[in-house]
Structure 1
């Protein structure tokens, strides 16, 4: 059973992802989580503390998702493409509110040295994770390819969430991975 703190943070992430950063208030989080008034402020005294809690909670959720996926590391470019397509489908489907929350936090906190730092650390973790997979499939220039794949993924996710909800990203991901594999 989730703790009161986790219920508040889950509700806060959902609010961020569905209604934006302006919707994030202690009272709205309490209501969304079904908690008594004042519960969220017991854990997070200020809005800034609540935002910091959201950043950390989001990172924990994402790490747990990837750590518990049980999927083997890709060993071919095709398996890598398949994995990216699954992640894309999750981020723009069942986890779309969480994805939108992450983007809201980036826009709100990206330039804040203290609160933006955990966002940047989380991003670096995913870059290292992606680069390890690219090394594993024999990708030439894996560091550069990682930046390309991550930027493409960000663009495709944003495009699907804002412009084209029916976007089929597979052909674009396949084309990018083929092009990156061809570089020598």
Structure 2
């Protein structure tokens, strides 16, 4: 059984992912999580604290997905499979979480003090992917990592907004193939 805190965070992510950032209030989170009034504010005293908690929770969930997805990567084909699966999940079964992440990213651009935590989280993801690029001997691991993140973000936005059935794998094969010529 998830803790009260985890129930609140999961509900907050659903609210933001389905209704937008304006839906993120302590009272709405309590209601969505079926918690007594005031429960969410016990964990997160201010809205800023709630936003920070949600951002960290999303990052933890996504880091777990990334770690699990990359654990079996030992070839370039494995990398294509892993990234395609991760992006399909991000725009399918985890679409609300992904929409919440993007909404919160945009929300926090107006609040510079929140940006450092987002950069730290992004850096952790990049390190995991860069390590894979290094182990598979990408031509330029740094550029490969940056490019893969940019293309992935574009594919995610495309699928979440205008083309929910757009194929992911062909684009990922093309991009990763360019990173590993001759493999």
TM range (shorter): over 0.9
1:1-184 counterparts in 2 under 5 A? Answer: 1-67=1-67, 69=68, 72-182=71-181
Structure-2 separation of matches of 1:70 and 1:158: 21
Q: Secondary structure at 1:182's aligned position in 2?
A: coil
Kindly tell me: are residues 71 and 133 of structure 1, through their superposed partners in 2, closer, same or farther at Cα, counting changes over 3 Å?
closer
TM-score by length of 1: 0.92
Kindly tell me: are residues 157 and 73 of structure 1, through their superposed partners in 2, closer, same or farther at Cα, counting changes over 3 Å?
same
TM-score by length of 2: 0.93
Structure 2 alignment gaps of length 5 or more: none
Structure-2 separation of matches of 1:156 and 1:124: 20
State the shift of 1:62 in Å: 2.0
Structure-2 separation of matches of 1:57 and 1:158: 21
* Number of equivalenced pairs: 182
Kindly tell me: are residues 94 and 100 of structure 1, through their superposed partners in 2, closer, same or farther at Cα, counting changes over 3 Å?
same
Structure-1 separation of matches of 2:103 and 2:71: 31
State the shift of 1:116 in Å: 2.0
Which range moves more in the overlay, 70-79 or 106-115?
Answer: 70-79
Structure-1 separation of matches of 2:110 and 2:80: 32
Which range moves more in the overlay, 44-53 or 84-93?
Answer: 44-53
State the shift of 1:152 in Å: 0.3
Kindly tell me: are residues 162 and 177 of structure 1, through their superposed partners in 2, closer, same or farther at Cα, counting changes over 3 Å?
same
Q: Secondary structure at 1:128's aligned position in 2?
A: helix
Structure 1 alignment gaps of length 5 or more: none
Structure-2 separation of matches of 1:137 and 1:115: 34
Cα RMSD, aligned residues only: 1.6
